[in-house]
A = this chain, B = another copy of it.
């Protein structure tokens, strides 16, 4: 089983096994809390439960979905921890997608000033992205992830078996982050990914280790996101705004779907402002629209999208902070684009369809 060692914890990629049980037993936790949402409680908990047999386990089950990634759900989690008598020598296992990992990690990091926690990501998106990097938090005041902390988990256990209950669309959403990792750091992996014949035939367990390794390298170089880590933001400045905008509409996009559109638009900006060759821009646009189809942004939505981008944590002044590609496999952080340039980039994406 591939193991990626970070300075303070290990990421294992493979089936849950005796080694994971041993890890918990060796630490002699006074108690173990398993946090799930209603979906992962049904589909994923049965895969974890056998390995916890005989341990002092408490379960906390919260409603599923980003709409519940807020302070009221934290209160419920903290209340149940207090009611269970959980102390600092307990460990929380966060079994779920990005919402459970971000919110559960935040609750564990703040309960009695911090208890141990293990991330068990159950979606492809959280397996390749959210499980590494220590970004924890909740949505607050209408702003995504506006309250949170940076804190590393005590372990990350990625079991591809959790993916079996996911739809094609959810898997494809996670695949967008795999593509992004290749685009910012590994041209060879990009060449492999763009040539995949059929996503439904992909063995995800084989793609995950390389993708997580990229994320790990980038995060280790810059844990608190003062510089190089912003490479991971490629596609996300515009993509996040598209995601937020569509959230209120009749047909919301999954995170990866919005980021795919964002990557095309930001590749266009990279071509115009940072020297990405035109042939590579075309290759990126063709590949991404091939996998993800086309979701044009109505012209009248542009002001709202630009307003959303100005809210982003990473901005410093009037211009919007963007991560460019200098070429495929090479990111340039702290790029800047004007609002007019960003509008033009979205129009470029719009006319592809």
Contact = CB atoms under 8 A, between A and B. Distances in A.
Interface residues on A, range: 20 to 34
Interface string A108-148: 01111110000000000000000000011100110101111
Interface in A302-353: 313, 315-316
Contact of A82 (B79, B89, B136, B146): B146
Copy number in this complex? 2
A165 B220 CA distance: 48
Nearest to A314: B88
A169 interface: no
A294 to B, nearest CB: 33
A33 B230 CA distance: 26
A149 interface: yes
Contacts of A150: 113-114
A145 to B, nearest CB: 7
Contact of A146 (B30, B112, B149): B112
B313 A141 contact: no
A78 interface: yes
Which of A110, A146, A313 has the most CB atoms of chain B within a 10 A radius of its CB? A110
Contacts of A316: 30, 87, 89
A75 interface: yes
A49 to B, nearest CB: 27
A253 interface: no
Nearest to A310: B85
Given A71-B75, A82-B141, A148 B87 contact: no
Contacts of A109: 149
A102 to B, nearest CB: 11
A60 to B, nearest CB: 15
20 contacts: A30-B316, A71-B75, A78-B146, A78-B147, A82-B141, A82-B143, A87-B313, A88-B313, A109-B149, A110-B148, A112-B145, A112-B148, A113-B135, A113-B136, A113-B148, A113-B149, A114-B149, A114-B150, A114-B224, A149-B149
Interface of A: 30, 71, 75, 78-79, 82, 87-89, 109-114, 135-137, 140-141, 143, 145-150, 224, 313, 315-316
